[in-house]
Amino acid sequence: MIEDSDPILDLFRQVLAEDDYEAVLSPYPIQTAQEVEDIKPDLVILDFMFGNKNIGWSILQMLKMHLPTSHIPVLICTSGLEMARVYSEPLISQGVPIVYKPFDVDELLRIIRHIFASRDVKPCNTE
């Protein structure tokens, strides 16, 4: 999870742990796709906005253009409604779902489970 809000990170930590997912949380935007490649996540949850800057779109493009991370599913979780609307067509074409803040926790988990099921990914929480 890449998100600049500590309360949102805490919420994700709690929600994902309750559903037995292991989460790596970062309050800072990544600088290189290698950072994500090194973690080897099953899913990246990304906010569009960091402070007042639209950095999320650049991070998404960086991940999708880097061959070792291009296959990793990404979920956008943002309150940047206008940014999400601007980028909705490219997001849809790349198969990137959007969850708008504030969100329903059950809906968020349903989308995460759907991502894993549709990509036939076995998340790290299952043996």
- pLDDT tens-digit readout, 30-88: 899 999 999 999 999 998 888 778 888 899 999 999 999 999 999 999 887 777 788 88
Helix axes 105-118, 6-18, angle to 10 degrees: 60
Ordered by where they begin, the domains of the chain are 6-118 (3.40.50.2300)
- Reported as type and span, the H/E element at residue 64 is helix 56-65
Angle at 68 between CA 67 and CA 71, to 5 degrees: 80
At 75, which helix (H) or strand (E)?
strand 74-78
Per the structure block, which two tokens stand in for 120?
């036939």
C-alpha angle 51/112/22, rounded to 5°? 80
Residue for token pair 């950095």: 55
State pTM to two decimals: 0.85
